[in-house]
């Protein structure tokens, strides 16, 4: 009975005021943070992730033992119960077996199509069916594309796989493929680095959104701990903090068009 009452008290204090979370947090968390690798020797494309996690740490003043790891290493470490938290990644259906995700925000998936292959009014599904359109895709994951889409493009020999996002944009900008999927934050980067907006048209996919989330080990994290993080993330959405952070890195037009809470 004493244990049950203490849990109820913990939850009531947490939900009443986020400041209590600081006093109640007495845990050391093992955290993997995303490298945001865009090429073999370059990391740090997505400063949004760093700033969001820093804000979360301010509001939950726990001890965080952080190390930078790749997507593939994050999956391995979560699966084998080596870390408590991974921040952040787009949700991936295969990760649900060993990790619980809490969404931060979602964005429209974007398809970049070379100008001469662009068809006004055509949707993403139309380009996926067009035998003349070949795709550059990231290997080792299905963060931008579903497993069904990948399998269909592979079967038709219309997919070229590369290890990093920079490689995808390099193929597209040189005309070696006709289309590639990306996200709004990468679009801004490649508009500058590869002048991609001059060479392609952007098709927003209203049927598929990419959900950025923070992941928690199903075996290492307790339900009350998950509620603690979920409450803080919801507060960051409600008080406008997430929007302020994103607008530092994304044009307001893109934010209004592609970002969703």
Find the helix or strand (DSSP H, E) in which 8 lies: helix 2-16
Pair 78, 140 in one domain: no
Predicted local confidence at residue 91, as pLDDT = 87
| Average pLDDT for 83-107 | 92
Predicted local confidence at residue 187, as pLDDT = 83
What are the backbone dihedrals phi and psi of residue 150, each rounded to the nearest 5 degrees, phi first?
-60, -45
Of 117 and 6, which is predicted with more confidence? 117
Pair 204, 215 in one domain: no
Pair 220, 145 in one domain: no
Predicted local confidence at residue 216, as pLDDT = 98
Pair 136, 192 in one domain: yes
What are the backbone dihedrals phi and psi of residue 222, each rounded to the nearest 5 degrees, phi first?
-90, 155
Predicted local confidence at residue 5, as pLDDT = 44
Closest-CA residue to 238 (of 12, 18, 7): 18
Is 53 buried (19+), middle (13-18) or exposed (0-12) by CB count in 10 A?
A: buried
Quickly tell me which residue has 């301010």 as its tokens.
58
Predicted local confidence at residue 44, as pLDDT = 45
Of 245 and 10, which is predicted with more confidence? 245
Pair 6, 40 in one domain: yes
pLDDT above 50 for 54: yes
What are the backbone dihedrals phi and psi of residue 52, each rounded to the nearest 5 degrees, phi first?
-65, -45
Rounded CA-CA distance 204/179 in Å is: 13
DSSP state of 25: -
Of 200 and 197, which is predicted with more confidence? 200
Residue 16: pLDDT band (50, 70, 90) is: very low
Per the structure, the complete domain to which residue 81 belongs is given by: 2-106+210-260
Pair 116, 97 in one domain: no
- Domains in the chain, number: 2
The alpha helices in the chain, defined as continuous H runs, are: 2-16, 19-24, 47-59, 71-79, 124-129, 147-155, 165-173, 184-193, 196-199, 223-238, 241-246, 252-258
Residue 2: pLDDT band (50, 70, 90) is: very low
Pair 45, 64 in one domain: yes
Which CATH number covers residue 222? 3.40.190.10
Pair 12, 81 in one domain: yes
Rounded CA-CA distance 138/172 in Å is: 13
Pair 153, 196 in one domain: yes
Pair 122, 192 in one domain: yes
Predicted local confidence at residue 141, as pLDDT = 60
Find the helix or strand (DSSP H, E) in which 159 lies: strand 159-162
Pair 11, 99 in one domain: yes
Pair 124, 203 in one domain: yes
Task: Give the strand pairing for 85-90 and 99-114.
Answer: unpaired
Percent of the chain past pLDDT 70, that is, above it, reads 85
pLDDT above 80 for 37: no
Predicted local confidence at residue 102, as pLDDT = 96
pLDDT above 50 for 46: yes
Predicted local confidence at residue 206, as pLDDT = 86
């Amino acid at each position: 009975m004493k244990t049950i009452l203490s849990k109820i008290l913990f939850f009531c204090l947490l939900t009443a005021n986020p400041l209590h979370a600081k006093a109640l947090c007495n845990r050391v968390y093992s955290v993997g943070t995303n490298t945001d690798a865009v090429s073999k020797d370059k990391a740090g494309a997505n400063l949004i992730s760093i700033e969001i996690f820093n804000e979360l740490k301010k509001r939950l003043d726990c001890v965080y033992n952080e190390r930078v790891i790749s997507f593939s290493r994050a999956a391995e470490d979560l699966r084998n119960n080596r870390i408590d938290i991974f921040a952040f990644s787009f949700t991936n259906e295969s990760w649900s077996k060993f990790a619980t995700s809490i969404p931060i925000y979602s964005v429209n998936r974007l398809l970049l199509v070379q100008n001469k292959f662009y068809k006004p009014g055509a949707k993403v599904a139309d380009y996926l069916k067009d035998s003349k359109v070949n795709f550059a895709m990231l290997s080792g994951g299905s963060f931008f594309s579903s497993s069904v889409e990948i399998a269909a493009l592979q079967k038709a020999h219309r997919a070229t796989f590369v290890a990093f996002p920079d490689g995808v944009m390099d193929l597209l900008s040189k005309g070696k493929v006709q289309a590639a999927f990306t996200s709004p934050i990468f679009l801004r980067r490649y508009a500058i680095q590869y002048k991609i907006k001059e060479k392609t048209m952007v098709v927003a996919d209203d049927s598929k959104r990419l959900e950025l989330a923070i992941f928690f080990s199903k075996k290492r994290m307790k339900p009350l701990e998950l509620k603690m993080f979920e409450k803080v993330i919801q507060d960051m959405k409600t008080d406008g903090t997430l929007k302020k952070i994103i607008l530092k890195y994304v044009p307001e037009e893109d934010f209004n068009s592609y970002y969703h809470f």
